[in-house]
Structures are given as C-alpha cells and as structure tokens.
Amino acid sequence: EPEVTQTPSHQVTQMGQEVILRCVPISNHLYFYWYRQILGQKVEFLVSFYNNEISEKSEIFDDQFSVERPDGSNFTLKIRSTKLEDSAMYFCASSPIDQPQHFGDGTRLSIL
C-alpha cells in the first residue's frame, strides 16, 4: 500500500539554525499538508498546499516557515532561525480530492 514517507526521522539542530524537513507524498495525491504535534499536545494544522501554492495556513505558520514542492515528488517544510519552542513532531500528509488525509510517520525535531 502506498504511503507518505518523511525524512529524516529525527533532526537535532542548534537554536537559530535553519532546518528542512522532507516529505514524499503518495504519488497520485494532489493536496499536501504539514501538521505538528508538540509533546503531549494535539496535532495542529500548519499549512495546506495545492496546485503549487499555499491554499491555507494557520497562525503558527508565520514568516519563519515556508513550504516548497521543488519537483514532482518532494514536499518540503523549511524553518528558518529555529527556536526552542519549534521542538515537536512534524507530520506531512497528503490526499486526493475530497478524500481522507494520509500521514507519514513524522520527523522529530529537537532544538538545542
């Protein structure tokens, strides 16, 4: 069964550094999402992406964050100038039109 794959599984970064989290969505899906889950808290929506542009973003998704689909298979989340509070699990999801979202296993981001 096709699945969403995310790399790396764990990223450790110094505060103030930039990180790029990578995702390969399911190949025939058209909608792409990033969510995050701070330890012990809810899964929170960050951004959705369709037709090569952001379709919606949350209040969390400020100028520190950006997304890109650099080619036909990858979907990336870039976090500039990381802060301690950016430490979380980051999940990528994808879906066809009007179908449930399927999630990857996440990247655990640890900011030191």
Partner 1 sequence: EDQVTQSPEALRLQEGESSSLNCSYTVSGLRGLFWYRQDPGKGPEFLFTLYSAGEEKEKERLKATLTKKESFLHITAPKPEDSATYLCAVHGPYNTDKLIFGTGTRLQVFP
Q: Which residues bind partner 1 (CB under 8 A)?
A: 4, 6, 31, 33, 35, 41-45, 48, 55-56, 58, 91, 93, 95, 100-106
Nearer to partner 1, 33 or 75 (CB): 33
Which helix H or strand E contains 42, and what residues bound it?
Answer: none
Closest approach, Cβ 95 to partner 1, in A, equals: 8
> Does a cis peptide bond (omega within 30 degrees of 0) precede residue 25?
no
User: Smallest gap, in angstroms, from Cβ of residue 103 to partner 1?
Assistant: 4
* Torsion of Cα atoms, 21 then 26 then 30 then 34, to 10°: -30
- Label the pairing between strands 10-13 and 107-111: parallel
Distance CA(95)–CA(18), nearest Å, equals 28
Q: Which is nearer to partner 1, 49 or 111 (CB)?
A: 49
**CB of residue 30 vs partner 1: minimum separation in angstroms?**
11
Q: Which is nearer to partner 1, 45 or 64 (CB)?
A: 45
